[in-house]
Structure 1
Amino acid sequence: MDVTTLYSIGELSRRTGLSVRTIRFYSDSGVVAPTTRSPAGYRLYDLDALHRLELLRTLRELGVDLATVRRVLDRELSVAEVAAARADALDIQIRVLQLRRTVLRVVARRGADPEETQLMHRLAQLSGEERRHLIDTFIDATFAPADAEPAAAAMVRAATPELPDDPSTDQVAAWVELAGLVGDQDFRARLRRTAAFRAGGRLLGIERKAGEELMAFTRQKVAEAMESGIDPLGDSAAAVVDGLVHRFAEAFARTPDTELRDWMAQQFEEAHDPGVDRYWRLVWIINGWHVVPHLIPVYPWLIRALRNDRAG
């Protein structure tokens, strides 16, 4: 053996950046044994030992446990196998950390109290399978009654909310809110009723009687108000609603008063419940779907504007 290839423990420390104490520990545990000893009894290591220490340090810095490192050094596992397994493990850890970060941002933004914070944390921690089970159970229970329409159940199931691995703060907040909705028995009944209209393409009684021309005019006016950002409870909405109420009064030969407004709101509510429309918006947010303005239901805006007159 060429003595020039032998290194003292101090030289190994300088070359690898590991402390003498650490190298001595690895040496005593047999991970990197000394090649020989000097006449004075000091440990000496060859070039292979230097390379083993350099690889050991790299793998340890990448988070590989010592037992696995030993198997790599003993050629029981390849570096590629260990790297792939470690990368998979890191993917999971990263997703967990990202989710924790997102929950914390939601808590900070909403000023959540301790109970709400715990709830958000538990709901966000659910695995993808657990979240799907929660939604599947909700859909099954919602459309279990004999009078439920299969087409409505299929429509709701086709739009199952799927929280991504790296959700945004808005997606986590939407998931928490949606999880609260699906546990509400009253909400299930309302979704079952309104979904039947959407899935079957059925017209409301007021739509049939008013006629396509008036309904098209109504949808256009409300859509324009929504796209302009007009608050249905604000003063700017009054002119829009007044004009529509007078049109419906003429079509139904009624007086354009509060009673007519209340009746119109009740008619439109049969297929457009604000809570149900909120559910669909939450699904869009969670799934990251682009919200197309002209597909946003217009009746919820109109219902609120009609009810606002009575509330005043």
Structure 2
Amino acid sequence: MPSDGMLSIGELAEHAGVTVKTVRFYSDRGLLPEAARSTGGHRRYGPEAVERLRLIRSLRALDLPVTDIDRALDREDALDDVIAGQLEELGSRLAALRWRQAALRLLRDCTPEERADRLRLIGAFPGGAVPPGTAALARYWRRVLPLRLPARQVSWIIDAAVPQPPADPTPAQVLAFARLHALATAPCPPGHDSRPPPPERDPEYRPSVLYDGLGEAYQLAAPALRAGRSPHEGEALDCFVSAYAHAHGARDTPTFRRRLSLRLDRSAHPVMERYWQLAGELATPQDPTLGAAQEWLRAALDAGVPGRRV
């Protein structure tokens, strides 16, 4: 080290173990401020430049962009933000790679006929995004939910009903999500409304009351679903029946339960049943779908109605 403590660009490069070209690159971009210039106009750096240059090299080794390094060096607290941002970005990139890997395996392990169909399904994701977004599924639910539901109800239903793409999917889950996306974006046949029709001859029907009650019933049924217990009578079923009764201005009686059991059978919709089947393939046992909760409660209701087959 020179007696005055100042380093030339060559000396700094030697001390930090980099090339002169590297020092000049970071210096030109303001990451490595010059302490002074010699009488001949050559760059001179203070001794602190060695540690700063080593820090820059470490951050670049982690593939941090130069702009982020500049921000991290400018403020002591900025490095935490830069690291958090990079971890988030890396997580997204890893998820995309896992989805690509699972999708490629899905295409590899099938017949030529299946491959054509699977390519069509995967190619239908908006912008070819992998993993895909969930906006189409959210739009589907806004289309099928009854009109004039309060915004808070629409919000919780969509949050609960729209499965998120798994971070590390299996090929089967890629296929299930692709099929779910195709189901949700399929055009409605002319003259058909996706929304369930209001019950006939029931001017008192209040869908907002129904969905509030169903949300509570689903939460009560969730522990039994997670534990794998068979459908049975109890608080969850009582809440389920009460939701329908109050929504229709009725009382929970044995006659009402029998009528409700029959009505739910008649109102079963194959498209919605398919939706929940596919959503179930993306769920975990610890996170049952609303569809699974609805089926469990329907089975519990049928089990308590004389003459009904579960």
TM-score between both structures, scaled by the size of structure 2: 0.50
Q: In structure 2, how many angstroms separate the alpha carbons of the residues matched to 1:17 and 1:296?
A: 69
Consecutive unaligned residues of structure 1, counting only runs of 5 or more, are 147-152, 194-198, 201-267, 299-312
Partner of 2:162: 161
1:78 paired with 2:75, answer yes
* Contact 1:7–1:46 (CA under 8 A) maintained in structure 2: yes
Consecutive unaligned residues of structure 2, counting only runs of 5 or more, are 109-114, 149-153, 198-209, 212-263, 300-310
1:105 paired with 2:110, answer no
Per the alignment, in what secondary structure is the counterpart of residue 163 of structure 2? coil
Partner of 2:17: 17
The one-character-per-residue Cα deviations of 1:7-49 (angstroms, maximum 9, x if unpaired) are 4444433432321211133345554355467799875533112
For the pair shown, the structure with the greater C-alpha radius of gyration is 1
Partner of 1:122: 128
Letter in 1 for 2:161: T
Q: In structure 1, how many angstroms separate the alpha carbons of the residues matched to 2:29 and 2:129?
A: 45
* Contact 1:99–1:124 (CA under 8 A) maintained in structure 2: yes
* Contact 1:9–1:44 (CA under 8 A) maintained in structure 2: yes
* RMSD over aligned Cα atoms: 4.9
Q: In structure 1, how many angstroms separate the alpha carbons of the residues matched to 2:147 and 2:38?
A: 87
* Contact 1:163–1:171 (CA under 8 A) maintained in structure 2: no
* Contact 1:95–1:165 (CA under 8 A) maintained in structure 2: no
Larger relative helix fraction: 1
Partner of 1:172: 174
Once the two structures are superposed, the pairs formed by residues 54-73 of structure 1 within 5 Å of their partners are 54-73=54-73
Per the alignment, in what secondary structure is the counterpart of residue 3 of structure 1? coil
1:95 paired with 2:92, answer yes
Per the alignment, in what secondary structure is the counterpart of residue 108 of structure 1? helix
Superposition deviation, residue 286 in structure 1: 2.6
Partner of 1:215: none
* Contact 1:190–1:276 (CA under 8 A) maintained in structure 2: no
Per the alignment, in what secondary structure is the counterpart of residue 288 of structure 1? coil
The one-character-per-residue Cα deviations of 1:103-131 (angstroms, maximum 9, x if unpaired) are 3422431344454442246364554xxx2
* Contact 1:106–1:172 (CA under 8 A) maintained in structure 2: yes
Per the alignment, in what secondary structure is the counterpart of residue 25 of structure 1? helix
Letter in 2 for 1:26: Y
| Cα distance, 1:3–1:40 mapped onto 2, change above 3 Å | farther
Letter in 1 for 2:180: L
Per the alignment, in what secondary structure is the counterpart of residue 124 of structure 2? helix
| Cα distance, 1:4–1:165 mapped onto 2, change above 3 Å | farther
Partner of 2:215: none
Superposition deviation, residue 269 in structure 1: 8.1
| Cα distance, 1:295–1:288 mapped onto 2, change above 3 Å | same
The one-character-per-residue Cα deviations of 1:198-237 (angstroms, maximum 9, x if unpaired) are x99xxxxxxxxxxxxxxxxxxxxxxxxxxxxxxxxxxxxx
Give percent identity, aligned residues only: 22
Per the alignment, in what secondary structure is the counterpart of residue 77 of structure 2? helix
Once the two structures are superposed, the pairs formed by residues 295-306 of structure 1 within 5 Å of their partners are 295=296
Partner of 1:221: none
| Cα distance, 1:154–1:58 mapped onto 2, change above 3 Å | closer
Aligned residues: 218
Superposition deviation, residue 57 in structure 1: 1.9
TM-score between both structures, scaled by the size of structure 1: 0.50
The one-character-per-residue Cα deviations of 1:239-258 (angstroms, maximum 9, x if unpaired) are xxxxxxxxxxxxxxxxxxxx
Letter in 1 for 2:45: Y
* Contact 2:64–2:86 (CA under 8 A) maintained in structure 1: no
